[in-house]
Structure 1
């Protein structure tokens, strides 16, 4: 299911709104850190606030945390309101818990630019990529470019899945490639 008709807006109904997105990189010691151990052993009793934000409430914790957790461009953007997020370079227990849930198919992550939802990390995902690198593309061009050129689907397969004609997908890809190469 696509949410392309919606655009993400920060929620006004919860305090401590999360700021601008930052990108993540996998830590070298991710399996050994306390944050990752908590993420893998505790249950998250929180849930989605909107397409891009979630409340994370770990079972052994005593407070909720608001986390930005969404795809933008070719990367994952995340931000948490806890001190551990700053201390651990982005991988606090709350962010790690969302990653753990996502790779196990327990949550769906929305793409802020295309509106598409991903039940698991897509093949084209790069954690340390620039979130605004594809801003010049339309949502349809970006979706086709990520899915066909950077992902694992061919034009015809993607056309069948998206309900578009192969010619339309080809035109979107040509336009996206031209834009990425600065020819438009």
Structure 2
């Protein structure tokens, strides 16, 4: 399946399907909160449901939580079905656990638009960005724009990495720059 053919749909085989994506932003007191302490101290016995959703079961709890956890545009979108997520305005222990696992290379996060998988947070990531900011780009344009314009790849390096011609990547970047007006 090519990246352009991929699309994410919520899984309907489990109760408590989470809604549409909302971007995250780092809380001011993240190192001191109970949620962040739990995330760093407890293990997660859950796993992936699909490219965008995971089950999180912390070792000190007795139930599971369904969490949407994926990249969209240039941001991370997340939502947890637990009460703590809504009470804490997004950073519950389950969401914090996924962040903690991701920055330590223990899980892979999928980009909903491009299908690319990231074993660690990419250099272009902005937690509080609008997830729809790059909707006008095709998946290939967005992939090239994130990697070369906003990330650390050079055009030729990204062409080799994706098994494309450098001219193709250049054209994708030109189109993306025109559509975004050079927005960074």
Same topology, TM > 0.5: yes
The residue aligned with 1:34 is: 34
Name stretches of at least 5 consecutive residues in structure 2 with no aligned partner: none
Q: CA offsets, 1:14-33, max 9 Å, x none?
A: 01110011111111111110
Structure 1 distance, partners of 2:61, 2:110, is: 26
1:79 and 1:158 mapped to 2: Cα distance?
32
Provide the residue aligned with 1:121 in structure 2.
121
Question: Distance in 2 between the 1:168 and 1:94 partners?
Answer: 40
Where does structure 1 differ by over 3 angstroms across 4 or more consecutive aligned residues? 2-5
Q: How far 1:5 sits from its partner (Å)?
A: 3.8
> Is the CA contact 1:5–1:115 (under 8 Å) kept in the aligned structure 2?
no
> 1:178: which partner in 2?
178
2:53 counterpart of 1:68: no
Alignment of 1:7-46 (within 5 A): 7-46=7-46
Deviations 1:134-154 (A, max 9, x none): 000000000000000000010
CA RMSD of aligned residues (A): 1.2
1:116 and 1:87 mapped to 2: Cα distance? 32
Q: Distance in 1 between matches of 2:16 and 2:61?
A: 18
Distance 1:3 1:114 in 2: 6
Alpha-carbon distance in 2 for matches of 1:127, 1:15? 28
Counterparts in 2 of 1:158-177, with a 5 A limit? Answer: 158-177=158-177
Q: TM-score, normalised by structure 2?
A: 0.96
d(CA) in 2 for partners of 1:104, 1:3: 26
Q: What runs of 5+ residues in structure 1 fail to find an aligned partner?
A: none
